[in-house]
Amino acid sequence: GGVATCHALEFLEREYCFFFQEFRALLSDYQSHLQVFCLVAMEKPVSLSPEHIRDEKVKVLQSVSCINHDEVVLGQYDGYKDDPTVPNESNTPTFASVVLRVHNERWDGVPFVLKAGKALSSKKAEIRVQFKDAPGDIFRCKKQGRNEFVIRLQPSEAMYMKLTVKKPGLEMATEQSELDLSYGLRYQDVKIPEAYERLILDTIRGDQQHFVRRDELKAAWEIFTPLLHDIDAGRLKALPYQPGTRGPLEADELSKRMGYVPTLGYVWAPPTLAKF
């Protein structure tokens, strides 16, 4: 049984690499990232009608400016080309960090950094909104990072506000903490459906709210198709990175250039019943 299992895993790995190589699956995955991006950036719809919601999503996509090459970092993890089905000269990215800019009154000047990758240090999907420092902040020299609102989609679904608080005690010192709503802890008696369970139920009900409309799909591909052409033409190169890391160092440098300030020494952990 062990040999058969190894052969099966090897076959699946090769098939995966072939699919990834031929169809550029990572940048195709960005279509799902755009759905989340739209929900964050869209204006309030007229109603909760699926058509009204999708109208606002289309408006956001149509307001996205052309992607600037200086605001794109592509990566390919070391070892990807070891598979015999992958050409030695492959430029297929296994990591991408792309800045989107929405040219409208609300979001003009605010960068949206979309990041996705394979073989990284952690597997998660989250929306992270970082707030600028307040003018004249008297705690600036003592802060460990900026305040952030985080929506964690998976794993361990949660919404939490990361902020600077005073440490308990007599000393005037601060630390990073959070106001946390972890779904698994707060709603222990509620069955939280998987993503595809919800979509199947919506299909049965005829609710198209979470499905992509034709004009929405067209607007989404108009954003990334020029980028795909540039990758095919060799105008953008994938940078190497080690598996188990955050990706190319250039991606973190891009985020910093966009104004993002990393928090040092803080790691969010889902709360457990043992803490209460």
pLDDT, tens digit only, all 276 positions of the chain:
333 333 333 333 444 344 445 445 565 666 778 889 999 999 999 999 999 999 999 999 999 999 999 999 999 999 999 988 888 888 889 999 999 999 999 999 999 999 999 899 988 899 999 998 878 777 666 567 788 999 998 888 899 999 888 888 888 778 888 899 998 888 888 888 887 888 888 888 888 888 889 999 999 989 988 988 898 888 999 999 999 999 999 999 999 999 998 887 777 777 775 444
**Domain total of the chain:** 1
Give yes or no for a contact between 236 and 89, defined as CB atoms under 8 angstroms apart. no
Q: Which residues, listed in sequence order, are joined to residue 165 by a DSSP beta bridge?
A: 175
Q: Which amino acid is at 71?
A: E
- From first CA to last CA, the distance across the chain in angstroms is 46
Which one of 7, 33, 103, 210 is the catalytic residue? 33
Which phi and psi angles does 214 have, rounded to 5°?
-60, -45
Chain centre to alpha carbon of residue 245 = 16
Residue 214: which region, alpha, beta or left (left: phi > 0; alpha: psi -120 to 50)?
A: alpha
Measured CA to CA in angstroms, residue 18 lies from 13, 68, 174, 230 at distances of 9, 29, 50, 21
Ordered alpha helix ranges (H), the chain: 2-23, 25-41, 50-62, 183-186, 195-205, 214-232, 249-257
CA pseudo-torsion sign 96, 260, 220, 222: negative
**CATH number of the domain that 128 lies in?**
3.30.360.10
Give yes or no for a contact between 128 and 112, defined as CB atoms under 8 angstroms apart. no
210: annotated active-site residue: no
pTM comes to 0.82
pLDDT value for 19 = 40
The residues, any chain, with a CB within 8 Å of residue 271's CB and separated by 6 or more, are 180, 182, 185
CA distance 11 to 148: 43
